[in-house]
Amino acid sequence: MLFNLTLIGLMAADKPLILQELTWTDIKSYLKTNDMVIIPLGSTEQHGPHLPLGTDFYEAFGLSKMISAQTGVLVAPLTFTGYSPYHSGFPGTLSLQPETMERVIFESVEWLLKYGFRRFLFFNYHGGNNIVQTRVIHRINHQTPGIAVAIGHGSSLQSEEEDDSSMDWHAGVSETSLMLYLKPELVRLDRAEKPVMRFTPQMKELRQLAAKEPSLLLVWSSLLGIPEETGKGGASHELSSNGVWSFLDPREATAQQGEKEALEMVRQAAKFIKAWQAAKGKIADLP
């Protein structure tokens, strides 16, 4: 009874539910009415001289908590590290091999399945994790009683408008704005500076040709964000003078822009979750 009152109080106050902050009795009660769990995926990697190494994790976790507050769905962070070897030219970056990361996440999911969780919503906010997320979702859907979908950055749920001319991909105006909204105390805007972007002759040629044939951007982008060992010049420290990937100046970032982007991503995910919650049968009827 004490938990029920506590849970009702949390939901009434629009507070997120975090696995690590609850007790086992809380989880037992939660599973009586809900089998959903949001799994944020981020990374620990350089984000220029002005954003923390944990930027992608803070974004994935922060947005997941906002979704939880709107839907009552539990958030379960499973790892702080992602696949980021191409950022290792800057100190502090950590990385797992895709196979290692997949195994950690899938084995954690197996435990959640054991307790009765059945619907897994992955909120990824690091492009390097896409291959891992795809593989884990496939394994859950094909090898277990669970159902898994992607709801984060890059998923079909999120309507994203990116201006290729700005290449504002990493630690630029957009991401700095998001962090100014989510974790402003960790942003060192006084250290921010516009990067000098460096491209190989092959990259420059492809980008020029793409002006007439945009499909060539598929080849151009495949050369970016890859380990230095490939010899293609696409590692982060080879592309950027300070780790920022953008033709824009991150000092132009604002918390207002970050709030707008955050609320839209949360709205899309929460809308989907509420629709899925309405469509489900009784918990007892699920596998």
Q: What is the pLDDT along the chain (287 residues), one digit of tens a residue?
A: 444 545 554 554 589 999 999 999 999 999 999 999 999 999 999 999 999 999 999 999 999 999 999 999 999 999 999 999 999 999 999 999 999 999 999 999 999 999 999 999 999 999 999 999 999 999 999 999 999 999 998 899 987 666 567 899 999 999 999 999 999 999 999 999 999 999 999 999 999 999 999 999 999 999 999 999 999 999 999 999 999 999 999 999 999 999 999 999 999 999 999 999 998 654 545 44
Based on the fold, state whether residues 107 and 214 are members of the same structural domain.
no
Q: Which of 240, 222, 238 is nearest to 168 (CA)?
A: 240
Listed in sequence order, the DSSP H helices in the chain are 2-12, 24-30, 55-71, 98-115, 130-143, 173-182, 201-209, 217-222, 236-239, 255-279
Cβ atoms within 10 Å, residue 227: 17
Within-domain flag for 250: no
Within-domain flag for 114: yes
Within-domain flag for 251: no
Based on the fold, state whether residues 91 and 208 are members of the same structural domain.
no
How far does Cα 285 stand from its chain's mean position?
31
Based on the fold, state whether residues 116 and 233 are members of the same structural domain.
no
Within-domain flag for 179: no
Q: Range of 56's domain?
A: 2-173+262-285
Label residues 58-93 b or e (16+ Cβ within 10 Å = b). Answer: bbbbbbbbbbbbbbbbbbbbbbebbbbbbbbbbeeb
Name residue, tokens 């984000």: 47
Based on the fold, state whether residues 153 and 99 are members of the same structural domain.
yes
Within-domain flag for 245: no
Within-domain flag for 213: yes
Within-domain flag for 106: yes
Based on the fold, state whether residues 83 and 13 are members of the same structural domain.
yes
Structural domain tally of the chain? 2
Within-domain flag for 182: no
Based on the fold, state whether residues 219 and 125 are members of the same structural domain.
no
Instruction: Kindly report the pTM of this predicted structure.
Output: 0.92
Based on the fold, state whether residues 167 and 90 are members of the same structural domain.
yes
Which CATH number does the domain housing residue 273 bear?
Answer: 3.40.50.10310
Based on the fold, state whether residues 214 and 146 are members of the same structural domain.
no
